Amino acid sequence: MRLHQLSVVRLILLLTFALLEQTASAQEQPNILFIFSDDHAPNAIGAFGSKINKTPHLDRIASEGAKFNNSFCANSICGPSRACILTGKHSHMNGFLRNGNRFDGTQLTFPKLMQNAGYQTAMLGKWHLSSDPTGFDYWEVLPGQGSYYNPDFIQMDGSRKRYHGYCTDLITDMALEWLKNRDGDKPFLMMCQHKAPHRNWAPHPRHFSLYKNEDVPEPATLHDDYSGRSSLLRQNEMSIRSHMRWAHDMKFHGDVLFPEHFGTSPGRNGEYGRMTDEQKATWDAQYEPENKAFIEKMKAGKLTDKEIISWKYQRYIKDYLRCIQAVDDGVGRLLKFLDDNDLAKNTVVIYSSDQGFYLGEHGWYDKRWMFEESLRMPFLIRWPGVIRPGTDAPALIQNIDYGPTFLEMAGAEVPAEMQGRSIVEVLKNNGRPTASWRDSIYYAYYENAAVHNVPVHDGVRSDRYKLMYYPRTREWNLFDLEKDPQEMRSFHDDPTYAKVLSGMQKRYHDLRDFYDVNSAVIPATRGDEVWWKERDRTLTANARNGKVELAFIGDSITQGWEGRGKNVWQKYYGDRNAINLGIGGDRTEHVIWRLTHGNLGKIKPKVAVLMIGTNNTGHFDQDPEEVAAGVERILEILGERLPKTKVLLLGIFPRGRDRLDSKRLNNIAINQIIRRFADKERVHYADIGDVFLEEDGHLPASIMPDALHLNEEGYERWANAIEPMLQELGGWE
């Protein structure tokens, strides 16, 4: 063989290897196009069996890939769901518990790890995490909720740019623009995140004609009376019957005409305010004739209550579905771009939304509850060569799994601290759970006392059962999704479900352990209890007076200084500018909330007396280690905010009449742990429990009439016992 022939062979071999290598790395690192919307219920996607709308482009992802029927969020609300996705962790671990929190962008997120793995990353559209995006080579995001019409976008330099046009289309345009101009040599992660179909549902005019002359079918549970489940359901403020606002939701102009049906405040239709005159004219031509016809019928008294609810439902659901249509259009444009540019084969396409939504089920709009409609997230995924087209996946997946999944696709390591799990093994198993896959998911909602008044609750869901727990009322609700898919009745008190209940309770406690959920350290407001909210406000107002030298922090036993302990307080602390920061019924988590939400005001006391935890025992017999962690967190907060204040940490007072009372023993176990938090410089510890007890450990009614709260004599003993320490720590005489 002549020399040049050898060279040619070598060259061919080299080229072949190079090609093989390129193909291999391409397979290892597919592009990821993550299309995400806001509040899109699976029930409003054709592939998930929608009877009310058509979504051909979304359905295409399902038919060419997989749809997950058991896809759930970890916390059914906008910001928290996004934080769960970015971090692969539940809310209590990533710190973003509720809308209004600020995402700590310095923490570990999957886009940062994708960058490390060689991906170019982009984030366009709704972000909603307050802090700027991190982990992206390029981003352009809506401020807060953003707007449908002529929206502003925050730029990477912090400035804002207003675009003319419709938000959903603009975000798709931006995504396409970035894809066209990307570095073709690197794999990409594109997160294209829509505002739509979030409230207040302002559609594009090209979709005005949809459903124009037809009624969307009403769900069977539109007139749910909330019987057979927790009484907290009735306190909701998210019903189509009572909580649709005149201008904001229902698109009327002017003052509310029928306050008994629409409330007294119209709410502002901010979208209308952003429109150009031309857009306004198009808008009014759509809405005003229907509005006028409705107002006339109302004035003539022609509509029954039920018909009024139906009218509101149609107004709401049609606008909602029209907003979705623009999302589906955008998905179609992105899929076409992949087709036209030979990218479809090596790009994983995902469609999801931050949670589900009530489309009138249970009489509601909005989300938050752990019921199916808002717990479920749509999850469609296409990955040519890996996922069998048309896969109908039953495995239980959750939004904390997305990050680990993308990292595995990228060939990057999934950090152990991520709580979610890559679903790649499930994808390769035709969407079925593998032998070691999870049997149930954990869910927690924390946004108490906020808009829509949905209580804090958490729970577990298996393939068939769902157990929910409401800490405020300490109630379990148990649902059998096979027998009662609409969740109209809790079986927790049905004796035939006793075994299911105890089994699900065990799963609940085990999953909370597994995910490191300790409610004693998770800041919690009780603002849904009116008296608590008022007291909390009063304490915050009192704390604006910076003259405080001595603060007492705790629960009802501390609050009692204003009751039975009043005279003793006056005698001992009357001239020490003392403040009472106690609220009855509070547990460690509530004190954590209060101290970080205003209760410390401007005070800089010399000494803070802290006693807390007996309600963690009394309400739940909570594990002493967990309660101690709550106390430790409070000490940390005091250290951060009042570094010069000496803390006198008191052992939790004895409770129950005798020595072997189980709750007293729990408090003793907590005290054993918290005693060690004293550093004798900033934090000092004292256990004065003995001053209330007789020699044999009996707790007399003459000191604590109810075996928990002190009477005046009890407060005298308390004050007397700590006085020497106060004098030493505060320099009083």
Q: Which of 556, 590, 623, 687 is catalytic?
A: 556
Burial of 230 (0-12, 13-18, 19+ CB in 10 A): buried
How far from 186 is each of 116, 179, 182, 269, 471, CA to CA, in Å?
12, 12, 8, 43, 49
**Min. distance of Cβ 57 from Ca ion in angstroms?**
21
- Amino acid, res. 26: A
β-pairing, 440-445 vs 457-462, is: antiparallel
**Min. distance of Cβ 36 from Ca ion in angstroms?**
10
As a dihedral over the C-alpha atoms of residue 425, residue 431, residue 437, residue 442, rounded to 10 degrees, the angle is 120
To which residue do tokens 């229902």 refer? 250
Residue 197: cis peptide before it, omega within 30 degrees of 0: yes
Q: Are 543 and 603 in contact (CB under 8 A)?
A: yes
Gap between the Cα atoms of 151 and 664, Å rounded: 59
3-state secondary structure of 46: helix
Q: Which is nearer to Ca ion, 38 or 328 (CB)?
A: 38
To which residue do tokens 């009310």 refer? 52
Q: Which is nearer to Ca ion, 78 or 595 (CB)?
A: 78
Whether 556 is catalytic is yes
**Min. distance of Cβ 38 from Ca ion in angstroms?**
4
**Residues in a beta bridge with 468:** 459, 477
Our measurement of the distance from residue 611's CA atom to the centroid of its chain's CA atoms, rounded to an integer in Å, reads 30
Q: Are 420 and 400 in contact (CB under 8 A)?
A: yes
**Residues in a beta bridge with 551:** 579, 608
Q: Which is nearer to Ca ion, 43 or 559 (CB)?
A: 43
121 DSSP 8-state letter:
E
Q: Which is nearer to Ca ion, 271 or 354 (CB)?
A: 354
**Min. distance of Cβ 323 from Ca ion in angstroms?**
13
Q: Which of 57, 204, 684, 709 is catalytic?
A: 709
Per the structure block, which two tokens stand in for 618? 């009394």
Gap between the Cα atoms of 712 and 567, Å rounded: 8
Gap between the Cα atoms of 544 and 541, Å rounded: 5
Q: Which is nearer to Ca ion, 96 or 178 (CB)?
A: 96
- Classify each residue of 185-195 as buried b or exposed e, where b means 16 or more C-beta atoms within 10 Å of its C-beta: eebbbbbbbbb
Burial of 302 (0-12, 13-18, 19+ CB in 10 A): exposed
By CB under 5 A, name the binding residues for Ca ion.
Answer: 38-39, 78, 354
**Min. distance of Cβ 84 from Ca ion in angstroms?**
12
Q: What is the number of alpha carbons within 13 Å of residue 586 lying toward its C-beta?
A: 35
- State whether the Cα torsion 614-616-622-627 is positive or negative: negative
Q: Which is nearer to Ca ion, 354 or 447 (CB)?
A: 354
- Classify each residue of 645-667 as buried b or exposed e, where b means 16 or more C-beta atoms within 10 Å of its C-beta: bbbbbbbbbbbbeeeebebbbbb
Q: Which is nearer to Ca ion, 149 or 365 (CB)?
A: 365
Whether 147 is catalytic is no
Our measurement of the distance from residue 135's CA atom to the centroid of its chain's CA atoms, rounded to an integer in Å, reads 22
Per the structure block, which two tokens stand in for 497? 């479900």
**Min. distance of Cβ 320 from Ca ion in angstroms?**
13
To which residue do tokens 């793995």 refer? 117
Per the structure block, which two tokens stand in for 287? 């809405």
Q: Are 197 and 327 in contact (CB under 8 A)?
A: yes
234 DSSP 8-state letter:
G
Whether 50 is catalytic is no
Q: Are 582 and 612 in contact (CB under 8 A)?
A: no
**Min. distance of Cβ 128 from Ca ion in angstroms?**
8
Gap between the Cα atoms of 18 and 643, Å rounded: 62
Q: Which residue of this chain has its Cβ atom nearest to Ca ion in the complex?
A: 78
**Min. distance of Cβ 367 from Ca ion in angstroms?**
6
Catalytic residues: 556, 706, 709
